[in-house]
Chain A
Amino acid sequence: GAVVSQHPSWVICKSGTSVKIECRSLDFQATTMFWYRQFPKQSLMLMATSNEGSKATYEQGVEKDKFLINHASLTLSTLTVTSAHPEDSSFYICSARVGGAKNEQFFGPGTRLTVL
């Protein structure tokens, strides 16, 4: 149980284009999902908390207009990187929180974005 999928697993795009990444909880409902970014040899950095049916909560320094998050259902959250630039190239990982008191989070396999 607690399987999270992400799509696509990798994407290469030209500078200025927008890229949408999907995160799905496959066998459970997730009212809360999280989006992280990881640069090489660095730790995961939380970008935003995605809440089903409401606006996402962004971490300090993360531009909400550049990283659009939509959590339209209990099993799907999307992250759109708008007008991507080479510095946005990174490993983007989502996680979904399993309900209840345990607060465990399970991660998707990640999306490797390369902006040329």
Chain B
Amino acid sequence: RKEVEQDPGPFNVPEGATVAFNCTYSNSASQSFFWYRQDCRKEPKLLMSVYSSGNEDGRFTAQLNRASQYISLLIRDSKLSDSATYLCVPLTHGSGNTGKLIFGQGTTLQVKP
């Protein structure tokens, strides 16, 4: 089983739509989770950090279900600028509070006018 699984999409939605991405992870010991967005040929940019059951920041809401080992990202009122690849990234803790980010292929969102 892959460490991180996301529906690659692409998700094509009109402006103003609400869209949700799901992500499942295999390592039950993962304690922290991050959503990054990556634009084509650019570096990932941190969108949201999730340490407990969820987090909300403006139009973006993340929810974590540890029992089922999945995390979701909800985007409300989609903008054209939201078009990107969204990466669900669990943090695997190592010794000394260091941790490795495990990247999957992400979910591609295309917001149409």
Answer whether residue B68 sits at the interface, using C-beta atoms and an 8 A cutoff: no
Total inter-chain residue pairs, C-beta < 8 Å: 51
Using Cβ atoms and an 8 Å threshold, which residues of chain A touch B42?
A: 109-110
Count chain A residues whose beta carbon lies closer than 8 angstroms to a beta carbon of B: 24
Answer whether residue A67 sits at the interface, using C-beta atoms and an 8 A cutoff: no
| Cβ < 8 Å to A, chain B residues 77-100 | 87, 91, 93, 97-100
Other A-B contacts than A95-B101, A97-B99, A105-B46, 5 sampled, CB-CB below 8 A, are: A36-B103, A49-B98, A102-B51, A103-B32, A104-B46
A109 to B45 Cα, complex, angstroms: 10
Contact assessment for B101 and A34 in the assembled complex, using a CB-CB cutoff below 8 Å = yes
Interface residues of B (CB under 8 A from A): 32, 34, 41-46, 49, 51, 87, 91, 93, 97-106
Using Cβ atoms and an 8 Å threshold, which residues of chain B touch A49?
A: 98, 100
Contact assessment for B43 and A103 in the assembled complex, using a CB-CB cutoff below 8 Å = no
Contact assessment for B99 and A42 in the assembled complex, using a CB-CB cutoff below 8 Å = no
